[in-house]
Structure 1
Amino acid sequence: MKRSNVRLRTRAALALVAGTLLAGTAFSGTAAGHGGGLRAAAGSLSVPTWLFLLTGGGVVGASFLLASFVTDRAFIRAVHGWRRVADAPVATATTLTRVVSVAALVGIIAVGFLGPETMFRNAAILAVWVGWWAGYVATVYLVGNSWPALNPWRAVAEWVPTLDYEYPERLGAWPSVAGLLALVWLEVVSPLADDPRLLAWVVVGYSVATLAGAFVFGPDSWFGSVDPVARLFRYYGRVAPLQRAESGGLELRPPGAALTDPLPDDGRDGVAFVVAILWVTTYDGFVGTPVWVAIAESLVGLGVPPVVLYPAALLAGYALFVGAWWLASRLARGTADTYLTPEAIARRFAASLLPIAAGYHLAHFLGLFVTLSPALVAALSNPLSPPINPSVVALPGWFGMLAVAFVLLGHLLAVWGAHASAYEVFPGRLQAVRSQYPFVVVMVLYTMTSLWIVSAPSAAPPFV
């Protein structure tokens, strides 16, 4: 009887995956892949969009089946248990790097106010969006989280006395969730990437709020719970091969090995932040597609105020992503036949979403970094009087395929992370495999959404 139930559940789960893939046929047309960056075009793919999306979703589904058939608990433990620890003068290096980062922060604010008003010539614009957000963030999940050694706001907060009031535990990580959503909304609806003066004022405002919070609650509480940037890098760093060892040095592990470790914030707030990382990158790309343009114009035509449009879409999409993850967690409890609560399952598997966000970030911003790196170097060489016509790199036609590859690689690593976590949580092999069915379906949907966005033609977001 039990074998019969297992077979029925297995067939139902496979049917659910197949149904998810077939749902992609609702998309029509031809895929036009482009490199990352601010929707910079880089060639096209002469294949139907539905076939393109089904292929990507099928790769993720097939990777789950392959991992389930050819791996066992001993193999996974051998892979995730491999590490090389090296002593490194982290504390000494941190002091030096923080001094440099504080000087860089002051320089960005000064150049934002005093430098050229042209976006491609202003070193503050290029340093923040090309050097930091596109380039540096990628090093966090590709190499390791060096932000604790670079964070200029934490450096200042630790150099001055603080009040060290007790941070309200009931707030948890929720302020950082709200902060991340607010920062991305501001980036989308305002000309932060075009107006260096506005960018400088926003950096000043963020600095004042951050330092005030750290002064009241102390650096550890503020940057550990509230600051969205510090938490973003801390979570992204779990994807990277370099991790901070318990001894204080550095350890080298296989990429994604830290995804099986429990989240540092063991609650709904930690899960909510992980999903927010995934959603805000998706949202940033979605508002630059023709589909969003058509939706936005239709809603405004029906009487929806433009000022309400973007925050409503941000919150609605986030609710959809969070809801999908919690639904998968509830379904996983049934497919795994476990006494674990859906909340415990959601917390344990949430970190597996981080490679998806990292892969999409790389797909979305690598083109921007490559294209404008020469302009960044030229602006930094003479911040107050950079070249009038800065050089840029023209992306080759095949560059768009890299965006597709990064999305798929991120999702494949996410499937592996969930697979390894399942073996950590559940004692039986079949139970571990069955627990992943709902999560694989959600990941396939995330994959197809990401691929659709990176393959969609670019369009300017309306009403902003």
Structure 2
Amino acid sequence: MRRLPRPTRLARRAVTAVLAPLAALAAAGRVAAHAGGIRGAAASVTVPTWLFLATGGAVVGASFLLASAVTDRAYIRRIDTWGRTLPDAGRAARLLARAAGLLALAVTVAAGLFGPPAPGRNAAVLVVWIGWWGLFVLSAYLVGNGWPAVDPFRTVARAVPSLDREYPDRLGSWPAVAGLLTLVYLEVVTPLADDPRLLAGVVLAYLGLSVAGSAVFGVDDWFGNADPVSRLLAAYGRVAPVTRTDDGLRLRLPGMGLTDAGRVEGRDDVGFVVAVVFVTTYDGFVGTALWADLARPFVDIGVPPLLVYLLAMVAGYGLFLALYLASASAARRTADTYLAPGELARRFAPSLLAIAAGYHLAHNLGTALALAPSLAVVLASPLSPPAEVPVLLVPDWVGGVGVAAVLGGHLLAVWVAHSTAYGLFPDRLQAIRSQYGVTVAMVAYTMASLWVVSRPGGVPPFL
């Protein structure tokens, strides 16, 4: 495998121009997120919000202009395909990971049903929200996706005989889209992070659905198409620097798994990618004061809050999807190509996963770090933890890392879109012009994400 070329003068200037405002933004604020009783911290921005958001959008726009100056296809291809073979973990490590997954599932259910009711002391709450959603999902895009080896739902499902019915092609990824939206909706509108018994019930219901789906369609078809958790972590894993191939583990540059063609096969897969971007934004947005102001008139006239949240989720997802599909239609016009908008939407969609990974890091890093010591202490005695568990005081710079993660994810998305365009179009100007629409969508996503992480977090109102 070839070595990457040394950075050119243009590349050094590009890095300086992009990182300077990024560093300024990273120092400007602190990040907060909500999850019931186990989250909650104030966020503040020391510059005017309009300047904060405009600068973030300008960084993404400027990065597009700088990436457009890189027109050497061989150079782009070397960056995309660079890699090194890594030693395989081996069968023993995979068996150990499987056992760890089953143990985590057992602890979650047992602690949820029989452990203390206080969420900050309950192993089920901490395993799910800190160990899994905070740390394990984070590792999926920072290191690599180890979920197929760990996944306890898949392990249990493999022990059940299957009818091996053919999975309907027309369903595609839409069950995973619906499942992901449903899980996030339940996280928002129910006290899953406050009620260990309820959380254990949801985990058992998810296990039952996984076993039933696998019993009908087979484990590979169910977890490869319909299971939202497996699809989510596989999507995040494409951002990671380590991946599994037919030849074993391989090291690559972060995000370069997003440039592989064929991973997003239809509109259903596009819909899932957009859902991954949307759900974390929704989760953060419903804890802001703006959401309370928007929802209050509907609640005041008697609309049930659960319905208000549901309508907001459906409308918000539809808006995100419409914005992205509109960007693909714009790409067809600006590039003057015969490729259908659906094909362009499919090819550019993976770039959005870098955005989702950056926002997930910003949304969850502070909470995960603060409560990681609690998780370690509670796991030592999950059914009878000590009355007091440690909570780490997270320094302000963690919020800066979160802001940098949002912008870094968007900058990576710009490069992935640039690489994709040069793989699609033989003409350089056509490749550049094809990115106009998706860049506008990225700027909009950037400003929305930065606005959410700059707001004081809190528990969603009216519930």
- TM-score under structure 2 length normalisation: 0.91
- Structure 1: distance between partners of 2:125 and 2:33: 18
Task: Describe the superposition over 1:289-314 as per-residue Cα deviations: whole angstroms up to 9, x where unpaired.
Answer: 00001111122123422221011000
Residue 174 of structure 1 is matched in structure 2 by 174
Residue 140 of structure 2 is matched in structure 1 by 140
Residue 25 of structure 2 is matched in structure 1 by none
Q: CA RMSD in A?
A: 1.5
- Structure 1: distance between partners of 2:40 and 2:200: 25
Q: Work out which of the residue numbers 10, 29, 34 in structure 1 matches 2:31.
A: 34
Alignment of 1:193-342 (within 5 A): 193-247=193-247, 249-342=248-341
Residue 250 of structure 2 aligns to a residue in which SS? strand
Task: Describe the superposition over 1:116-172 as per-residue Cα deviations: whole angstroms up to 9, x where unpaired.
Answer: 110000011101100100010000001011111111111122233222111111111
1:391: Cα distance to partner?
A: 1.0
Cα–Cα, structure 1 residues 32 and 95, in superposed 2: closer, same or farther, change >3 Å?
Answer: closer
Contact 2:43 2:456 in 1 (8 A): no
Cα–Cα, structure 1 residues 448 and 314, in superposed 2: closer, same or farther, change >3 Å?
Answer: same
Residue 169 of structure 1 aligns to a residue in which SS? coil
- Structure 2: distance between partners of 1:87 and 1:389: 42
- Structure 2: distance between partners of 1:211 and 1:294: 42
Cα–Cα, structure 1 residues 196 and 231, in superposed 2: closer, same or farther, change >3 Å?
Answer: same
Contact 1:329 1:342 in 2 (8 A): yes
Residue 349 of structure 2 aligns to a residue in which SS? helix
Give the counterpart letter for 2:391 in structure 1: V
- Structure 2: distance between partners of 1:37 and 1:74: 45
1:199: Cα distance to partner?
A: 0.4
Cα–Cα, structure 1 residues 36 and 463, in superposed 2: closer, same or farther, change >3 Å?
Answer: closer
Contact 2:43 2:454 in 1 (8 A): no
- TM-score under structure 1 length normalisation: 0.91
Cα–Cα, structure 1 residues 245 and 199, in superposed 2: closer, same or farther, change >3 Å?
Answer: same
Contact 1:263 1:270 in 2 (8 A): no
1:33: Cα distance to partner?
A: 3.4
Alignment of 1:98-137 (within 5 A): 98-137=98-137
Give the counterpart letter for 2:232 in structure 1: L
1:234: Cα distance to partner?
A: 0.8
1:108: Cα distance to partner?
A: 1.1
Task: Describe the superposition over 1:206-246 as per-residue Cα deviations: whole angstroms up to 9, x where unpaired.
Answer: 11111111111110110011100000011111000111112
Alignment of 1:437-452 (within 5 A): 437-452=436-451
Give the counterpart letter for 1:325 in structure 2: Y
Give the counterpart letter for 1:361 in structure 2: H
Structure 2 residue 81 is the aligned partner of structure 1 residue 76: no
Structure 1 portions without partners, runs of 5+: 1-30
Structure 2 residue 53 is the aligned partner of structure 1 residue 53: yes
Structure 1 runs, 4 residues or longer, greater than 6 Å off: none
- Structure 2: distance between partners of 1:442 and 1:244: 31
- Structure 1: distance between partners of 2:381 and 2:156: 27
Contact 2:71 2:428 in 1 (8 A): no
Q: Which one is further off, 178-187 or 92-101?
A: 92-101
Contact 2:83 2:252 in 1 (8 A): yes
- Structure 2: distance between partners of 1:237 and 1:439: 22
Cα–Cα, structure 1 residues 99 and 33, in superposed 2: closer, same or farther, change >3 Å?
Answer: closer
> Identity of counterpart residues, as a percentage?
57
Give the counterpart letter for 2:121 in structure 1: R
Residue 400 of structure 1 is matched in structure 2 by 399
1:420: Cα distance to partner?
A: 0.7
- Structure 2: distance between partners of 1:43 and 1:103: 36
Task: Describe the superposition over 1:175-228 as per-residue Cα deviations: whole angstroms up to 9, x where unpaired.
Answer: 111000000000000000001011011111111111111111110110011100
Residue 13 of structure 1 is matched in structure 2 by none
- Structure 1: distance between partners of 2:185 and 2:388: 31
